[in-house]
Structure 1
Amino acid sequence: MASSQGPAQRLFSAGKQLLSSLIAAGETRMRLVVLELEEERARLFTLLLLSGLSLLLMLLGLAMLMLLVVVIFWDTHRLAAITISAAVLLGGGLLLALLVIRLARRHTLLKETLAQLATDRDLVDRDQVESPRDERR
């Protein structure tokens, strides 16, 4: 009974199976991308929360240290102690801001996935360019 199909029907059936396989592979890739994005979002949220708490504790500790320096030099050089403390804090803040700007310009989200897709696209383009030459021979 399987031989009752004509060549056109078998070709159509094979095309449908190929299309079904391609759609399934694409769906699998999309699910992996979504999963990767969800994991990255959770990691980023945890990272931001811990960074914020760390920054708050460091800020309080630095404020206490600056207060200690000012109290130690209160009788002799109070203005110099305040000025030097402020300059150190502002200079450190400026250096860290420049570092943050440099790091923020890097694109890392799905970097490897995009690189792999570019490689796949280049391979397909190269095969398409080489195929007409092979047919002429």
Structure 2
Amino acid sequence: MSSSSTSGLIRKPKVFKVDLDGNVYCHHDIVAVLRVAGLKSERHGEEFYGCSHWPRGDCKFFLWKEDVDKMFVERSYGTSTQVTFKDLKIKNLKLHNMLLIEENKNLKAMRFDTKTKSKKPYVLTFVIAIAILLYLWN
């Protein structure tokens, strides 16, 4: 039994990379170009990502923009909201800021510890020097 519908086909998952600026990368690890389907396509006028080397190169990277956008829908409590790349970038920057603040606290604590530790030998040396001077003086 053969069927010409795509529902009977097992589709291989597409692997690609998207950065926080919304850039989609092809298999060459370069930013894919956003193009519009031409007149001969059933999906005329719809946007898709393709390799910037096409048609000169042999990369067949192709991904509908709609499919990429669907991946960034946040689902919770039966509702769906669109998460933009800007939202993701803001969350990432806030997290990075929190990590930098924590690292700054740790570095200040380490600096304070080294200051107090480094004073102890000088105090001890100072006390010994006074003891020697008093001994020599007498």
TM-score category of the 2 structures, normalised to the smaller one:
0.3 to 0.5
Structure with more strand by fraction: 2
- TM value normalised by structure 1: 0.37
Could you say which structure has the greater relative contact order, defined with CA pairs below 8 angstroms and 6 or more residues apart?
A: 2
